Amino acid sequence: MKKVVIAVLLVAVVFLAAPNKAQADYLSLNFGTVTDSSFSFNPFFWTAGMTIDIPLGNIMTLSPEGYIVVHKFNFGTFIFAPSVMLNFHFKEFFIGGGLSKWFLLGDDISGSPSTDFSLKVNAGFQGSDLRLSVFIFTPFNDLFDSMAVGATLGFVF
């Protein structure tokens, strides 16, 4: 029960810290999956989170994100994964990179991604209603050798 309360509080902080709709171009609720770079899906992680795109000119956005990463729908242990991304937009397509830090809440999950500060690189498509994104997450001390790979589908508001 304590872990559920912590998760709810973390999500509430992310939503309360989010800028209002007048300041942000897009707010999207995203759902997806994460695995290791071998695409073995062992272990298999589900993600749910939020991305906010704050415009920085015509083609750039600053995109704070917050995700909950869950192993096999076991909510007793999960990862809270905030990130800050700088994305470049070319019509509906985007590509970018940023900083991410994953926090493991609960017991250790065998095969879980590193919880060190890490590089996150993403690319995708953002239409008026949907956002499709693929990303890699790699620790700075093991750059591109130890990676988590993921994809999300988001609903844009």
Q: Is the CB of residue 56 less than 8 Å from the CB of residue 62?
A: yes
CB atoms within 10 A of CB 112: 19
2-156: CATH topology is Porin (2.40.160)
Closest CA to 14 of 85, 65, 79, 75: 65
pTM of the model: 0.77
Going residue by residue through the chain, which has 157 residues, state the pLDDT in tens, using 9 for 90 and above: 455 445 545 555 555 555 444 445 689 999 999 988 788 877 778 999 999 999 998 999 999 999 999 887 777 778 899 999 999 999 999 999 999 998 888 776 655 565 678 999 999 999 889 999 999 999 888 888 888 899 999 999 8
99 forms beta bridges with: 84, 119
DSSP category for residue 141: G
Domain segments of the chain as ranges: 2-156
CA distances from residue 41 to 30, 44, 77, 84 in whole angstroms, order as listed: 19, 5, 18, 26
DSSP of 31-90, one letter per residue? EEEEEETT---SS-EEEEEEEEEEE-SSSEEEEEEEEEEEETTEEEEEEEEEEEEEEEEE
What is the per-residue pLDDT across 26-45, written as a single tens digit (0 to 9) for each?
899 999 999 887 888 777 78
